[in-house]
């Protein structure tokens, strides 16, 4: 049986990123090309205040200057300032030749429309942003691999890139399995429960940056499973919940094999979620997560999230585990490495009360999982533990 790091490495070895596409930049996507600026920004020495462009040497408190023109944002100056001249100027407008400072309007008075009295002693360069201070033409401002944040999308606009090479969102298909399941809008009959994994896994996939599609509930028959799985194999990643353990109705591994999916592992040394299947067909990754909701959730966080990120063009490095002090003492008692719902607070991390893999409600307060080694260990408050933050 593989341990988690080896299982994760196996998944990542098969998680090839998608071919880049050339489209309008979309938030969360990863850039697949180096982007250079096609402009100096700002394109000219630019006023950062409304006021008067002046020659700093002329402008001392009480000096009266002749206003030779008015320059609005979007206009170009037509005059070069000479001794004791000023130009009325607005934020964003180009600084006229001869001027080397801007005096803000609040520090002036205007005895006539063509005169200004300065109440300031400006230093040279004051309230001027020099041409190309932000970026130079030809300079690479966004290297390949950059995640397209809103501000990156703003900079792409600055440099004239309405379309860029970027890795598309991986497509993810989610299939719930089980004769006992009904959808959330139904009242469960005797022996039935609601399908919580379907909506949860769709939400996890969407939050991880995938384009997720729901395939419904497959009943525990080979025919129904085969039809829905065949549909799901058109996605970059197919996630199944349930039907992967060793019970009589756990048909998923067999049906996957019949449909040409190559199995890579079927069990992982972890709790919850030991019977976790991973296989591939072509470039499609197939995850069979155990049906207990916390097992599904944890299996997704450990294996599916990194696969989505890798397929989306991110460099996936490290296991995400951080060292943190325990805020309260905690008794660990497990036969396998365990991922226990936890909450990171200002004074450390706290293990949450938890009834095991069927107790999804315990995750409501969780923002992390304690990563505990097997064995009975009594951790004192303040001792350092491994923690996997969850998003
Ligand atoms: P399985 O992995 O199919 O053996 O299911 C393990 C447990 O998880 C059983 O108690 C199932 O009823 C439950 N379960 C399976 N699928 C879901 C689901 N989609 N939503 C909620 N519980 C589920
Ligand atoms: Mg089942």
Asked, for residue 316, whether it belongs to a domain, the answer is no
State residue 35 phi and psi, 5-degree precision: -110, 120
Considering the domain architecture, whether residues 194 and 121 belong to the same structural domain is answered as no
Asked, for residue 283, whether it belongs to a domain, the answer is yes
Whole domain around residue 178: which residue ranges?
2-17+169-311
Pocket test for ligand 1, best of 182, 275, 292, 355 (most atoms within 8 A of CB): 292
Considering the domain architecture, whether residues 113 and 179 belong to the same structural domain is answered as no
Q: Which two tokens stand for residue 230?
A: 């065949």
Considering the domain architecture, whether residues 174 and 278 belong to the same structural domain is answered as yes
Nearest CA to ligand 1 atom 12: 180
Q: CA-to-CA distance for 244 and 275, rounded, in angstroms?
A: 6
Ligand index nearest the alpha carbon of residue 244 = 1
Considering the domain architecture, whether residues 190 and 280 belong to the same structural domain is answered as yes
* Cα 155–chain centre separation: 18
How many helical (H) and strand (E) elements, i.e. helices and strands, does the chain have? Answer: 7, 30
The pLDDT-based confidence of 249 (bands split at 50, 70, 90) is: confident
Percent share of the chain, pLDDT over 90: 98
- The count of domains in the chain is 4
Asked, for residue 75, whether it belongs to a domain, the answer is yes
Q: What is the pLDDT of residues 139-184, one digit of tens each?
A: 999 999 999 999 999 999 999 999 999 999 999 999 999 999 999 9
Ligand index nearest the alpha carbon of residue 180 = 1
Asked, for residue 305, whether it belongs to a domain, the answer is yes
CATH number of domain containing 339: 2.40.340.10
- Calculate how far, in angstroms, residue 244's C-alpha sits from the geometric centre of ligand 2: 8
Q: CA-to-CA distance for 139 and 37, rounded, in angstroms?
A: 6
Q: Are 55 and 99 in contact (CB under 8 A)?
A: yes
Q: Helix (H, G, I), strand (E, B), or coil: what is residue 307?
A: helix
Averaged pLDDT score across all residues of the chain:
97
Q: Helix (H, G, I), strand (E, B), or coil: what is residue 282?
A: coil
Q: Look at residue 247 in the predicted model and tell me its pLDDT.
A: 84
CATH number of domain containing 11: 3.40.980.10
Catalogue the long-range contacts made by 278-285 (C-beta closer than 8 Å, 24 or more residues apart). Answer: 278/7, 278/10, 278/11, 278/303, 280/14, 281/233, 283/16, 283/236, 284/233, 284/234, 284/235, 284/236, 284/237, 284/238, 285/11, 285/14, 285/15, 285/236, 285/237, 285/238, 285/311
Please identify, among 167, 187, 216, the residue that sits at the C-terminal boundary of a domain: 167
Pocket test for ligand 1, best of 242, 246, 247, 273 (most atoms within 8 A of CB): 242
Q: Which two tokens stand for residue 304?
A: 């599916």
Considering the domain architecture, whether residues 187 and 301 belong to the same structural domain is answered as yes
Considering the domain architecture, whether residues 64 and 110 belong to the same structural domain is answered as yes
């Amino acid at each position: 049986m593989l341990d988690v790091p080896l299982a994760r490495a196996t998944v990542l070895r098969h998680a090839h990123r998608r071919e880049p596409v050339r489209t309008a930049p979309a938030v969360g996507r990863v850039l697949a090309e180096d982007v250079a600026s096609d402009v100096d920004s700002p394109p000219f020495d630019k006023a950062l205040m409304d006021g008067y462009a002046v020659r700093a040497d002329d402008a001392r408190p009480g000096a009266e200057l002749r206003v030779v023109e008015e320059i609005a944002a979007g206009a170009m100056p037509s005059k070069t300032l000479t001794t004791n001249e000023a130009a009325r100027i607005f934020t964003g407008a180009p600084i006229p030749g001869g001027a080397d400072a801007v005096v803000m309007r609040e520090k002036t008075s205007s005895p006539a429309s063509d005169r200004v009295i300065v109440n300031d002693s400006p230093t040279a360069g004051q309230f001027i942003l020099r041409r190309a201070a932000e970026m130079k033409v030809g300079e690479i401002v966004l290297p390949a691999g950059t995640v397209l944040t809103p501000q990156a999308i703003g900079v792409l606009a600055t440099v004239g890139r309405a379309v860029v090479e970027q890795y598309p969102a991986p497509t993810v298909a989610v299939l719930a399995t089980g004769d006992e399941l009904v959808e959330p809008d139904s009242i469960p009959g005797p022996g039935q429960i609601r399908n919580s994994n379907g909506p949860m896994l769709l939400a996890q996939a969407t939050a991880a940056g995938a384009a997720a599609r729901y395939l419904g509930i497959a009943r525990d028959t080979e025919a129904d499973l085969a039809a829905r799985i065949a549909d799901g194999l058109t996605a970059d990643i197919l996630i199944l919940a349930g039907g992967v353990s060793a019970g009589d109705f756990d048909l998923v591994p067999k049906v996957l094999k019949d449909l040409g999916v190559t199995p890579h592992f079927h069990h992982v040394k972890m709790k919850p979620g030991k019977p976790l299947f991973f296989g591939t067909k072509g470039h499609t990754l197939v995850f069979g997560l155990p049906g207990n909701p916390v097992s599904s959730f944890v299996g997704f966080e450990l294996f599916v999230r990194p696969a989505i990120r890798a397929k989306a063009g991110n460099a996936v490095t490290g296991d995400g585990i951080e060292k943190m002090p325990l805020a309260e003492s905690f008794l660990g008692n497990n036969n396998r490495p365990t991922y226990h719902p936890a909450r990171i607070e200002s004074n450390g991390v706290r293990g949450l009360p938890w009834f095991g893999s069927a107790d999804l409600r315990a995750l409501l307060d969780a923002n992390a999982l304690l990563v505990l080694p097997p064995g009975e260990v009594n951790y004192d408050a303040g001792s350092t533990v491994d923690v996997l933050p969850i998003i």
